[in-house]
Amino acid sequence: MTASALLVEKATKIFPGVKALANVDLELKSGEIHALLGENGAGKSTLIKIVTGVYRPDEGSVSVMGSSVDFSSPRDAFAAGIGVVHQERNLIPRYSVAENIMIEQLPTKWRLIDRGEMNRQAKHWLGALDLNIDPDVPVNRLSVAQMQLVEIARALSQQSRILLLDEPTASITENEIKVLFDLLRRLKGDGVAILFVSHKLEEVFELCDRVTILRDGRNACAGVPIEDLDKQRVVAHMVGREDALGDIGERHASIGKVMFELKGVSTAAGHQDIDLKVHKGEVVGLYGLVGAGRSELAKAVIGAERVTGGEVFVSGERATVRNVQDALRRWRIGYVSEDRKQEGLILLHSVAKNTAITVWHRLGKFLNLFSDRQERDAIISFVQKLDVRTPSLEQDVANLSGGNQQKVSVAKWLAAEAEILIVDEPTVGIDIRTKGYLHRLVWDLAEQGAAIVLITSDLAEMVLLADRVVVMRDFRIIGNLQNTYNYEQMSRRIMGCIHEADVVVGRADGAPALKGA
């Protein structure tokens, strides 16, 4: 039996109003992939931050390769051979991809940075992830998924013996996940100890050897071999009781007239000939690989990017959406951004203020004055519906766990009561139980008469929720498929669509993409 690569004993961490960790144990062995699971706010990220020197534990000990350590900064952890990808993105926006990847270990020549060598090394690690981007591009030009991959590449480049991954698959699609998993298995073969956090249990069962589960900051179990668990048992550990996963129920679709329509729309972001119809009461899924232009299309629709051609109709009326305000108040279109930290939330404001931001314009009568009470009343039901775990509505959003932040960024758009709602990766980082609530909520909204466009990279989620799946690639729409609710079949047809488009796009005459049935 090898010594444990990483051992955490009786770790305790307390934040104002929250006991994030209480006597938590974690053991990571060399050559294993160890899953760390728990609901939103259970303490997973806090544990990782303690191990990597971001926080100091109030009590408890950490040892690496058998010797006890006391990190006072992330640099110490790096020096001790621990590589990490945190849940939140930590890239320096204007720096290039290569600079971000190599930042801890910039190659130099004559004491000056050797850019050629830097780019070469960066390219190597990007290649390991099958990521084909120019290392010279500044990272703020990348999509959320690409940024996540760049951070993984950075952690790989450090070639550490211990690798901690906090929800690395949250915003990447199946193909990239597959490449990542192959790579992780190879690293495991080389004896690297890997900690893997995810809310997608299928991934955990596919990849991991042992499991540690946290519930409300305590160990629900520690280092249990995966063979001894099944999905029900894992959920029971996470939630603290059996039969915790409610059924999502039936979809009672009643699809009405066309509520929202794009005709031959092109945008400054590069979309061409976009035709899209969404009916009242319908959930339309928008699928595509990373970089297909889905979020950009959503932004154009709400007036955050320029529409350069074509026509937009809302309830049959020709609509020119001048800006986001216009979209929300006049046309009642809302957009839940995929990037909660940059575009969704105001981290240093409270849960209440973040949720109410879309309803302020409705509050207040005399001189537009309103009170905290009015604000609270307007939003509390949405915060509760999504089960946001927070000590109070006055807590700063920055202090919530990642999944709970995501819930706030969705809750604010529920509160807006838009008639056309575009939800972009709404369940990223959300635990299974809340994901169930949220799925039901999407259907409820549709059944109450909203038109919903669902963008998600989680194909299973798409097949579960959408009535119709529209497939995008390279800023064009290449397919329009009725959902059969059969995962295998849908996934084959969608991938077929994308593959077929490969051939079409490759043709010199640039013939328009095929439209599926």
Partner 1 sequence: MTWSHVSRYLIRAEWAPLAGITLFSIVALSLIAPAFLTEYNLFVMLRILSVTSVFALAQMVVIAVGQMNLAVGAIGGLVAILFGGMMEVYGVPVPLAMLIGAAVGILTGWLNGAIIAYSGINGFVVTLAMLSVYTGLNYGITESIPFYNMPQVLLDTYDGKIGPVPNILVIPLVAAALVGLFLFRTRAGRYILATGGNPSAAALSGISIRRSVILAHTVSGALAGFAGMVAVARLGTAEPTIGVDWLLPSFAAPVIGGAILSGGRVSVIGTMVAVVLIVLLENGLLLARTDPYYVQFFLGVLILAAVMFNRWRAVSAEKVTAARENAS
Q: Hey, which residues does 19 pair with through a beta bridge?
A: 14
Residue in the shown chain whose Cβ atom is closest to ligand ATP: 403
- Position 289 contacts ligand ATP (CB under 6 A): no
Q: Does 354 bind ligand ATP (CB under 6 A)?
A: no
Give CA–CA dist 278/299, Å, rounded: 16
Q: Are 151 and 97 in contact (CB under 8 A)?
A: no
Whether 149 and 95 have beta carbons less than 8 Å apart is answered as: no
From the list ligand ATP, Mg ion, partner 1, none, pick the one residue 404 interacts with, judged by a Cβ distance below 5 to 8 Å according to partner type. ligand ATP
Cβ atoms within 10 Å, residue 290 = 19
Selected from 1, 369, 508, 517, the binder of partner 1 by CB under 8 A is 369
266 touches, from Mg ion, ligand ATP, partner 1, none (C-beta below 5 to 8 Å by class): none
Question: Facing residues of 455 across strands?
Answer: 286, 424
Among 10, 12, 15, 215, binds ligand ATP (CB under 6 A): 15
Q: Is 486 helix (H, G, I), strand (E, B) or coil?
A: coil
CB distance 35 to 204 below 8 Å: yes
Find out whether 47 and 213 touch, Cβ atoms under 8 Å: no
Binding region for partner 1 (CB under 8 A) out of 43-51, 144-152, 181-189, 321-329: 321-329
User: What would the DSSP string read from start to end of 202-226?
Assistant: HHHHHH-SEEEEEETTEEEEEEEEG
Instruction: Among 4, 30, 46, 355, indicate the residue that binds ligand ATP (CB under 6 A).
Output: 46
User: Which amino acid is residue 449, in one-letter code?
Assistant: G
Strands (E), 271-306: 274-279, 283-287
CB of 56 to partner 1, least distance (A): 10
Residue 228 has a CB neighbour count (10 Å cut-off) of 10
Show the binding pattern over residues 77-116: x = contacts Mg ion (CB under 5 A), - = does not. ----------x-----------------------------
For partner 1, the binding residues in 407-426 under the rule CB under 8 A are 412
Which two structure tokens, joined as six digits, stand for 361?
Answer: 């314009």
Tell me which of Mg ion, ligand ATP, partner 1, none is bound by residue 58, counting a contact when its beta carbon lies within the kind-specific cut-off of 5 to 8 angstroms. partner 1
Which residues neighbour 6 within 8 Å (Cβ) at sequence distance 6 or greater?
A: 26, 27, 28, 51, 62, 63, 64, 82, 162, 193, 195
Pair 400, 408: CB distance under 8 Å: yes
Of residues 390 through 419, those in contact with ligand ATP by CB under 6 A are 399-404
Residue 141 binds partner 1, judged by CB under 8 A? no
* Residues 187-216 interacting with Mg ion (rule: CB under 5 A): none
* Nearest residue to 414 (alpha-carbon basis) of 330, 341, 335: 335
Q: What's the closest the beta carbon of residue 461 comes to partner 1, in angstroms?
A: 22
Compute φ and ψ for 109, nearest 5 degrees.
-140, 125
Q: What amino acid is encoded at 505 in this protein?
A: V
Q: Write down the least CB distance from residue 41 to ligand ATP, Å.
A: 4
From the list Mg ion, ligand ATP, partner 1, none, partner contacted by residue 113 (C-beta under 5 to 8 A by kind): none
Q: Is the dihedral of CA 4, 24, 86, 171 positive or negative?
A: positive
| CA proximity to 471, closest of 461, 462, 481 | 481
At a CB cut-off of 8 Å and minimum separation 6, what does 65 contact? Answer: 3, 5, 81, 161
Candidate list 3, 253, 346, 514; residue touching partner 1; CB under 8 A: 346
**Binding-site partner at residue 90 among Mg ion, partner 1, ligand ATP, none, CB < 5 to 8 Å by type:** none
Window contacting partner 1 (CB under 8 A); options: 3-11, 28-36, 335-343, 482-490: 335-343
CB of 168 to ligand ATP, least distance (A): 13
- Please return the burial class of 5, using the count of CB atoms within 10 Å of its CB with bins 0-12, 13-18 and 19+: buried
Judged by CB under 8 A, the chain residues 249 through 308 that form the site for partner 1 are 302, 304
45 contacts ligand ATP (rule: CB under 6 A): yes
Question: CA-CA distance, 250 to 447, in Å (whole number)?
Answer: 11
In this chain, which of 11, 30, 32, 43 binds ligand ATP, going by CB under 6 A?
Answer: 43
Task: Report in angstroms how near the CB of residue 109 gets to Mg ion at its nearest.
Answer: 40
- Site residues for partner 1, 149-208, by CB under 8 A, read none
Among 345, 408, 410, 471, binds partner 1 (CB under 8 A): 345
> In the window 9-48, what residues touch partner 1 (CB under 8 A)?
12, 14-17, 19
**Which of 184, 307, 314, 328 is the binder for partner 1 (CB under 8 A)?**
328
- Annotate each residue in 68-107 with x if it binds ligand ATP (CB under 6 A) or - if it does not, as one string: -------------------x--------------------
Q: Which of 2, 175, 254, 325 binds partner 1 (CB under 8 A)?
A: 325
Q: What beta strand segments (E) does 54-209 contain?
A: 59-64, 67-69, 82-85, 108-109, 112-113, 162-166, 193-197
Mark out the alpha helices in 53-133 (DSSP H runs): 74-79, 97-102, 115-128
Tell me the two tokens of residue 308.
């350069």
Q: Examine residue 323 and tell whether it contacts partner 1 (CB under 8 A).
A: yes
Q: Which of 90, 342, 448, 482 binds partner 1 (CB under 8 A)?
A: 342
Residues making contact with partner 1 (CB under 8 A): 12, 14-17, 19, 58-59, 302, 304, 323-325, 327-329, 335, 337, 342-349, 353, 357-358, 360-361, 363-364, 367-371, 412
Residues making contact with Mg ion (CB under 5 A): 45, 87, 401-402
Residues making contact with ligand ATP (CB under 6 A): 15, 18, 20, 38, 40-46, 87, 389, 399-404, 429, 431
